[in-house]
Amino acid sequence: MKVEIKRKRIKNIYIRVDANGIVRVSAPKNTPVFFIEKLLEEKREKIEKAIERQKRKSIDYLNAETIPFLGKEIKVRRIKGEKSAFSFEKDTLTLFLKTNSPKENETLIKKWQKKEAKKIITFFIEKHLPAVGKRVNRVSFKEMKTRWGSCNSKKGYLNFNIKLITLPPICVEYVVVHELVHLIHPNHGKKFYNRVEKIFPQMKQARKVLKEHT
């Protein structure tokens, strides 16, 4: 397995498997390498299962007959078209393809993901922003390899991973509230999580479901 280690000003060691199956370790700056290696070996079985989950989630853009959307699977239909375009109705994503190349399929699916992510995440931002009482100056939607979202509390900027729409709605809403509360509390302290749970009482359930999907 491929492992990448980053040293940070943190107290604990965190291990996660990203969308590409890479094991990413965040560790305190003074942690010995042998200690990290020992921990990885102890958790090898769990890590390998996480890698397999990520492999199953990866999309074969050219041949996939279904793709994940809000925790479920929707159908993908491909039609020869004069220009590249897509339409989405009920449980079917239709791709109109000029060349039916892997690149064209990937581009269209990601465009659709971004459009849906923007619509769904914006809805949750507008729903919970009054409870936060802060101003959002910019919201970006893009594909991110290691995060579901991020927040620049000083500038009022929010960033969200378009892959969020593959997760159940409870997870999407939780990530939105999580990033909104960072406008108030930039860290992950007790006050931060208390505020998140106050705004979104389903926080613990959402975190459990999110862990099952990542």
Ordered by start, the domain boundaries in the chain are: 3-57, 66-113, 116-213
Q: What is the pLDDT along the chain (214 residues), one digit of tens a residue?
A: 889 999 998 989 999 887 667 899 999 999 999 999 999 999 999 898 888 777 666 778 888 899 989 989 999 999 999 999 999 998 999 999 999 899 999 999 999 999 999 999 999 999 999 999 999 999 999 988 778 999 999 999 999 999 999 999 999 999 999 999 999 999 999 999 999 999 999 999 999 998 877 6
Query: Cα separation of 51 and 23, whole Å?
Result: 8
Which H/E stretch holds residue 26? strand 23-28
Tokens of 212: 């099952």
Instruction: Give residue 58's pLDDT.
Output: 72
84 to each of 98, 114, 118, how far by Cα in Å? 6, 16, 21
Query: Cα separation of 71 and 164, whole Å?
Result: 10
Query: Cα separation of 164 and 114, whole Å?
Result: 10
Query: Cα separation of 140 and 125, whole Å?
Result: 12
Query: Cα separation of 22 and 57, whole Å?
Result: 14
Tokens of 207: 């975190």
Instruction: Give residue 57's pLDDT.
Output: 64
Q: Which fold does the domain 116-213 belong to in CATH?
A: Zincin-like (3.30.2010)
Q: Give 150-205 as a DSSP string.
A: EEETTTTEEEEEGGGGGS-HHHHHHHHHHHHHTTT-SS-SHHHHHHHHHH-TTHHH
Helix (H/G/I), strand (E/B), else coil: 137: coil
Instruction: Give residue 56's pLDDT.
Output: 61
